[in-house]
Structure 1
Amino acid sequence: MHEVNINGVKITSKYAVLVSNVAIVADLHIGYEGVLQREGAMIPKYQKEILKKRLNDIIETYEPKTIIINGDFKHEFGKNLRQEWNEATEILQFLNEMVEVLLIRGNHDNFLRTIAGKLGIPIYNEYEIKGIKIVHGHKETEAKRIIMAHEHPSLHLRDKVGAIVKLPCFLASKKIIVMPALSPLATGIDVSSAEPADYLSPILQRENVDEYEVYAISDELLYFSKIGKLKKVI
């Protein structure tokens, strides 16, 4: 399956959440390779093209009127690195030619207003569609329904020879949907082994996350079970 409807909100195998004619993605972490290289890692700069392809696939498949980027569009906490500035501008221009673009501020998005402002793209701390609050998730908030990101949830599976496969995943309860990172570099927390205190978001720290359903992304959406049941078998 490529889509699952959860109380009127669709999660998809293309990393996006759909609410009406709005597509939501999160955690692009543009410029991540530059930060890793600065820290001594030998890694090529390949993420931008993957992100553009994933975004284009979402637009071609679902034809949204608007794309919301739900936080951590860029990676560096401090000033805008040259790679971030160039790639962030290129991706925002790429999207702006096809759809309306809205940005939700994440904890990595310092100085983002400088880049977005040149293109006339608004930035919000939170946004609401049809009574559903969209927030990055790094700060506490209250709402009847929430779409959040920040955790980069993934499911780590070990094969017969011991190799580990990391599958990005959605977490879902009746009230909250947690989005996977669109970035191929940001694998995040392993939900099959994480304890409640391991989650970064104050929103999830007060939740019984073991009761959340897991939908992993491979070539399609793969439903596993509730997190609590996964911990007993993986």
Structure 2
Amino acid sequence: MSRKLARGMEIGLYSLFIEEIGALVVSDLHLGYEIYLGEIGVHVPLTQYKKIREYLEENIEEFDPQMLIVLGDLKHDFSKASWQEWREIKDFFDLFSGREVHLIRGNHDNYLKPIARKRGIELKDQITIGKYKFFHGHKPVELGKVNLMGHEHPAISIRDEMGVKWKFKCLLYGEFEKSDLIVLPSMSPLMGGTEVNVSGREDLLSPILRERGVDHMRVYVVDEEAGIYEFPRIGELKSELLDDAIH
């Protein structure tokens, strides 16, 4: 499952592949989320990582990347590294054994450094490889030429002819002056995301997106069953929703 985004870049299953540097880019896996939910009284089965691993295996089979770049929030719990996180992150690293791995620090990645250090992997706030700049997106940064971030967990909501609301994760792609910006969806099946076509600018999570706005950004819906589809720009989707509400 893939679709060309721009020259040398392909959208994969909740991922992006950059052919020029052989990099598979993913974001916001939030490993260990079920244990966190259990601690606050919401009990769900430990099934998230099994699904994420299937997504990763499909991406590896399709692209055979030389390098993996995680755009932050590999783990979920702010306060510690739970036994579930240790187990799942260890298996995650095993899956990419023999490939170069880069970890970007997200706002959830407290206590990730000791786990990464055991594999000789350094946790960084941002990295630049050629013309590509990678960061999480939870704080302001100076944009480079082609920028990739996560954090927002972008999604869109649409209604069918029966008035039933559907929500789909999506990748966003936009141009800001001399910079391109790509926002990846969360790979976690438990993370719904920000409905960018119904949210106000002030409701966006990332200060980078709040500052610049998202209405001109292109939308690429990513769904493991339906596939990858290009939708109108966010501003156009908002206009369509407004027209539907009026009529």
* TM-score bucket (shorter structure): over 0.9
For the aligned residue pairs, the C-alpha RMSD in angstroms reads: 1.5
Q: What is the deviation of 1:158?
A: 2.6
**C-alpha contact 1:77 1:109 (8 A) present in aligned 2:** yes
| 2:125 match | 125
Q: What is the deviation of 1:25?
A: 0.4
**What count of residue pairs does the alignment treat as equivalent?**
232
What amino acid maps onto 1:157 in structure 2?
I
| Distance verdict in 2 for CA 1:99–1:107, change over 3 Å | same
Q: What residue ranges of structure 1 are gaps of 5+ in the alignment?
A: none
Distance 1:55 1:10 in 2: 17
With normalisation by structure 1, the TM-score equals 0.94
Distance 2:199 2:61 in 1: 35
**C-alpha contact 1:9 1:17 (8 A) present in aligned 2:** no
Secondary structure in 2 aligned to 1:67?
strand
**C-alpha contact 1:214 1:223 (8 A) present in aligned 2:** yes
Structure 1's consecutive aligned runs of 4 or more residues displaced over 2 angstroms after TM superposition are: 157-165
Secondary structure in 2 aligned to 1:209?
coil
**C-alpha contact 1:65 1:99 (8 A) present in aligned 2:** yes
**C-alpha contact 1:199 1:205 (8 A) present in aligned 2:** yes
| 1:16 match | 15
Q: What residue ranges of structure 2 are gaps of 5+ in the alignment?
A: 242-247
Q: Is 1:224 aligned to 2:231, yes or no? A: yes
Secondary structure in 1 aligned to 2:9?
strand
| 2:93 match | 92
Distance 2:235 2:4 in 1: 21
Q: How does 1:27-176 map to 2 (within 5 A)?
A: 27-96=28-97, 98-143=98-143, 144-174=145-175, 175-176=180-181
Q: How does 1:179-198 map to 2 (within 5 A)?
A: 179-198=184-203
| Distance verdict in 2 for CA 1:110–1:178, change over 3 Å | same
What amino acid maps onto 1:201 in structure 2?
S
Distance 1:70 1:10 in 2: 16
154-163 or 177-186, which moves further after superposition? 154-163
| 2:204 match | 199
Q: What is the deviation of 1:180?
A: 0.3
**C-alpha contact 1:170 1:179 (8 A) present in aligned 2:** yes
Q: What is the deviation of 1:103?
A: 0.6
Distance 2:219 2:239 in 1: 14
Distance 2:234 2:35 in 1: 34
145-154 or 157-166, which moves further after superposition? 157-166
| 2:244 match | none
**C-alpha contact 2:172 2:183 (8 A) present in aligned 1:** yes
**C-alpha contact 1:169 1:180 (8 A) present in aligned 2:** yes
| 2:213 match | 208
**C-alpha contact 1:93 1:119 (8 A) present in aligned 2:** no
Q: What is the deviation of 1:208?
A: 2.7
What amino acid maps onto 1:94 in structure 2?
L
Secondary structure in 2 aligned to 1:115?
helix
Provide, for residues 167-188 of structure 1, a one-character-per-residue CA deviation record: whole Å limited to 9, x for no partner: 1101111221110001111121
With normalisation by structure 2, the TM-score equals 0.89
What amino acid maps onto 1:62 in structure 2?
F
Q: What is the deviation of 1:95?
A: 1.8
What amino acid maps onto 2:136 in structure 1?
H
106-115 or 151-160, which moves further after superposition? 151-160
142-151 or 56-65, which moves further after superposition? 142-151
